[in-house]
Chain A
Amino acid sequence: MSVLELTEIRRVFSRHDGALDRAMNRVGLGRKPQHLVAVDDVSLTLQQGEMLGIVGESGCGKSTLGRIAAQLLPASGGTVRWQGQPIADMAPRDARAARRAIQMVFQNPYASLNPAMSVAQTILEAPLAHGLIRRRDSAAFLAQMLDKVGLAPDLADRRPHALSGGQRQRVGIARALAVSPEVVIFDEAVAALDVSVQAQILNLLVDLKAQGGFASMFISHDLNVVRFISDRIAILYLGRLVEIADRDTIFARAHHPYTRALLAEAPQLGGAKRRFTALKGELPSPLNPPSGCHFHPRCPHATDLCRSTRPALRDVGAGHRSACHYDLPQVAPQTQGA
């Protein structure tokens, strides 16, 4: 069953106009109001215990989507349902409990820890404040959490400035897990780390996932990272969901041309010769997105239909959905699943 369900989520950022702009607009002299549609009618469900990878280029709205899912940012439209019930309609008490059950791990481990608090304070603060543990059990709880994320017990009294990037990210993970969340959103959680440390953290996440207890969204721009860790993968392009399927389907039978282009660009081991022609052009400005299918200016198969009509997300096989008007033939066999 689904724990977290996002339905037709939309988020528009508008330039904040001052009084002068508004007055100038009234007489027709002001700057044109600008709207950025960061997330455009995205619907996703997160099943119990699964890890959903969310992939896209920078600026495609994946972090915005994560922050909306974590209730850190209000959506401009659409509903977020927690165990079937819209969070917005819940009694304040239940809504708080729901929000607490959705935790987030942030990208930059240097900014996501309070520099004035020790590791122990950081991890214990929320469980103590919410009465999830008793003060006299806190030492044992702390030891358990540190062990869970692979941190040595003697780091408990250190402050963030005395920790490495990987250690900080482990503290960030422990902080999120300390309130026993049911959903954890990893927002580019390994992007700021060295590759070797990245691998350690990814292995930790795989272990934690195997222990069960939480479903998660793993937001990343790196297909290889997502491939390693996710059960299902959703691909975003300029705020829209273009394709979603389970991991092996995405890698074996990607349907949307954008997904195929991403796969072709992802570096592979053993791929000796590689033509680097898959994705032409720059990512269009989200302030002024292309008409119809957002991908048409970069798509080798674009037609007039693509230029005029937004393709609906349609079912193209068991749980595999794609937002392309056409069923393009599979050109080259993709590499085998991980």
Chain B
Amino acid sequence: MRNAILSLRRAPFALFCLALFLLIVVAALLAPWIAPQDPYDNAVVDFFDSNLPPGSPAGMGGLTYWLGTDALGRDLWSAILYGLRITLTVAATASVLALVIGVLAGLVSAYAGGWVDAVIMRLVDILLGFPTILVALTIMALAGAGTGNLILALVVAQWPYYARTARSAALVEIGQDYIEAARCLELPHWRIILHHLLPNSISPIMVVLTLQLAHAVAIEASLSFLGLGTSIERPSLGLLIANGSREILSGHTWALIYPGLALAMLIFTVNVFGDRIRRALNPQEA
């Protein structure tokens, strides 16, 4: 892991992507302070300013819509910053939850072996057999729209990837004598799993985390685009894109292009960075 991070110094583009990603995250976190308008506050949003092109001044004065406004009169730049916040919160929460569940399942599976391993891994195989978006769509269709359900859907769709990776990494470690020694010392099973297996299996899991984070952002956007994600009052990036796409034939292209660009940048930077770590950790490719 340390070597992988060191090797990033020789990959300026991956470093640039990491910086850009961190910039996006910081911008999303600071949205309430740097956004010119609170897009959730109906007292501030002026419906008469709807669908204004980029650079238009606000009807009531006071600010300029540098990226234009959407169909509800919201400042698009502010809506993108707030949308990023929602998208990133959902994706990060879901990824971390999926990681915890998936890694635990994978480690237990590898450690216990036998029928426990068989049951967990067949479940994983079944889930991996369906496209991720289909699994997420099914959950959303059953549970209904909303941020909580969105996270649930992403966790269900993504934990199998962590479980598979954690299991294969742990199987390599279980063959080592230090696990045998820990068993010989009669340490409790949970202790062997958490203190011996987990720290030594974590590197490949971190790679899966970066790649799955990008994937989670994309799925969240897809679900919101299909109307199964966040609510219209508090749109995520995906919903902004969906709304923008309805305006495209009216010539209001900015409502689609700018949220789309933000999403593309987010996914692209995470992917480039994650792929670089993956290659750094794989000696055959580095």
- Judge if A62 is at the interface, Cβ distance under 8 Å: no
- Judge if B180 is at the interface, Cβ distance under 8 Å: yes
CB distance from B153 to the nearest CB of A (A): 34
**Which residues of chain A have C-beta atoms less than 8 A from B184's C-beta?**
70-72, 99, 102-104, 176
Contacts A129-B191, A175-B181 given; indicate if A114 touches B186 (C-beta within 8 A): no
A175 to B176, CA, bound (A): 16
- Judge if A172 is at the interface, Cβ distance under 8 Å: yes
**Which residues of chain B have C-beta atoms less than 8 A from A99's C-beta?**
184, 186
Whether B186 contacts A108 by the Cβ 8 Å rule is: no
**Which residues of chain B have C-beta atoms less than 8 A from A107's C-beta?**
177
- Judge if B185 is at the interface, Cβ distance under 8 Å: yes
Count A-side interface residues using an 8 Å CB cutoff.
27
The one of A72, A100, A125 in contact with B180, judged by C-beta atoms closer than 8 angstroms, is: A72
- Judge if B178 is at the interface, Cβ distance under 8 Å: yes
The one of A114, A175, A179 in contact with B200, judged by C-beta atoms closer than 8 angstroms, is: A114
The one of A96, A112, A117, A175 in contact with B186, judged by C-beta atoms closer than 8 angstroms, is: A96
A103 to B188, CA, bound (A): 16
Whether A111 contacts B185 by the Cβ 8 Å rule is: no
Whether A130 contacts B186 by the Cβ 8 Å rule is: yes
Q: How many A-B residue pairs have CB under 8 A?
A: 62
Interface residues on B, range: 10 to 19
A100 to B181, CA, bound (A): 11
A93 to B199, CA, bound (A): 29
**Which residues of chain A have C-beta atoms less than 8 A from B191's C-beta?**
125, 129
A70 to B177, CA, bound (A): 13
**Which residues of chain B have C-beta atoms less than 8 A from A176's C-beta?**
181, 184
- Judge if A113 is at the interface, Cβ distance under 8 Å: yes
A178 to chain B: closest residue by CB: B185
- Judge if B246 is at the interface, Cβ distance under 8 Å: no
**Which residues of chain B have C-beta atoms less than 8 A from A102's C-beta?**
184
The one of B177, B183, B187, B195 in contact with A112, judged by C-beta atoms closer than 8 angstroms, is: B177
Contacts A72-B180, A106-B180 given; indicate if A114 touches B196 (C-beta within 8 A): yes
- Judge if A115 is at the interface, Cβ distance under 8 Å: yes
- Judge if A140 is at the interface, Cβ distance under 8 Å: no
Q: Scoring B residues 97 to 117 as 1 if CB is less than 8 Å from chain A, else 0, what string do you get?
A: 000000000000000000000
Whether B183 contacts A100 by the Cβ 8 Å rule is: no
A63 to B188, CA, bound (A): 25
- Judge if A20 is at the interface, Cβ distance under 8 Å: no
Known A-B contacts: A99-B184, A129-B191. Give 15 more (CB < 8 A). A71-B184, A96-B186, A99-B186, A103-B184, A103-B185, A104-B184, A111-B176, A112-B181, A114-B178, A114-B182, A114-B195, A115-B178, A117-B195, A125-B195, A126-B186
B188 to chain A: closest residue by CB: A129
**Which residues of chain B have C-beta atoms less than 8 A from A72's C-beta?**
180, 183-184
- Chain A CB count within 10 A is highest, among B177, B188, B195, B199, for B177
Contacts A114-B196, A114-B200, A129-B191 given; indicate if A100 touches B178 (C-beta within 8 A): no
Whether B181 contacts A104 by the Cβ 8 Å rule is: yes
Chain A stretch 160-182: residues in CB contact (< 8 A) with chain B: 172, 175-176, 179
